[in-house]
Amino acid sequence: MTLSHLEILRTVPMLAGVPESDLAALAKATQERSYPAGNTILRQAAHGDAMYIVVEGQVKVLLIGADGREVILSVLGPGAIFGEMSLLDDAPRSAHVVAMTPCRIITLYRGAFRERLRASPDLSLAMLAALSHRLRRADERIRALSLLDVNGRVAHLLLQQSADAGSDTFPRRLTHQTMAELIGASRETVSRTLRHLTDRGVIAIARRQVTILDRASLEAAVRPT
């Protein structure tokens, strides 16, 4: 069954607690588009005037160096938003966003959003909370990359996925290569670290999911020595 845009907005964490009347007004101003895997949805430094919500599929937010090397900042799935900073300022896009799988994306443009923002304190608070969450995640990522070894960075990523899923068992959505690009390591090192964690009984990896068996060991690994 295909959900309406209003029903989709109800599932977006950023909009939790926003009154139904505000969600209904926003839903009327949304547009939907599908992207094949590999398509670029946003380009870094391009003009931005819209926010996007992932309905189906996965996207990666990344920077591309002058040598063509990709640095993945985050991987986003259904219910996640991106491009929201452009709703508040006129600055260029800060990163590329590329479809990792076939995606359905809802677009909400700045004009309609700002109009609703002026009339709704609840929506304003939701936006502030979303930006605060983004900053906290950025701080956590900087801390992990700066202070932790590869084992700690892998543990941090696993704990983050668990927190996002709200469970110690979560879908296995990231390849070893993607994990490596997220934590600044090689694919071989990530594979070796995951195998070591599995052999020690800290995690269990199935075809479609990962389960944390020993959370205390992962949490110990993310505490800088």
Name the segment(s) of the chain with CATH classification 2.60.120.10.
5-136
Q: How many beta carbons lie within 10 A of that of residue 124, not counting itself?
A: 14
> 65-77: per-residue pLDDT in tens?
778 778 888 999 9
- pLDDT exceeds cutoff 50 at 1: no
- pLDDT exceeds cutoff 70 at 2: no
Please state, in angstroms and rounded to a whole number, the distance separating the CA atoms of residues 214 and 72: 27
Name the segment(s) of the chain with CATH classification 1.10.10.10.
148-221
> 197-212: per-residue pLDDT in tens?
999 999 999 989 999 9
Q: Quote the pLDDT of residue 187.
A: 94
- pLDDT exceeds cutoff 70 at 29: yes
- pLDDT exceeds cutoff 90 at 220: yes
DSSP string, 209-225: EEEES-HHHHHHHTS--
Contact 197/154 with Cβ under 8 angstroms? yes
| Mean pLDDT computed over every residue of the chain | 89
pTM of the model: 0.80
**Coil, strand or helix at 31:** strand
CATH number for the segment(s) 5-136: 2.60.120.10
- Least confident range from 70-79, 82-91, 107-116, 165-174: namely 82-91
The share of the chain scoring above pLDDT 70, in percent, equals: 99
> 136-174: per-residue pLDDT in tens?
888 888 888 888 999 999 999 999 999 988 999 999 989
148-221 folds as Arc Repressor Mutant, subunit A (1.10.10)
Closest CA to 79 of 99, 112, 57, 96: 57
CB within 8 Å of 60: residues ≥ 6 apart: 72, 74, 75, 76, 97, 98, 100, 178
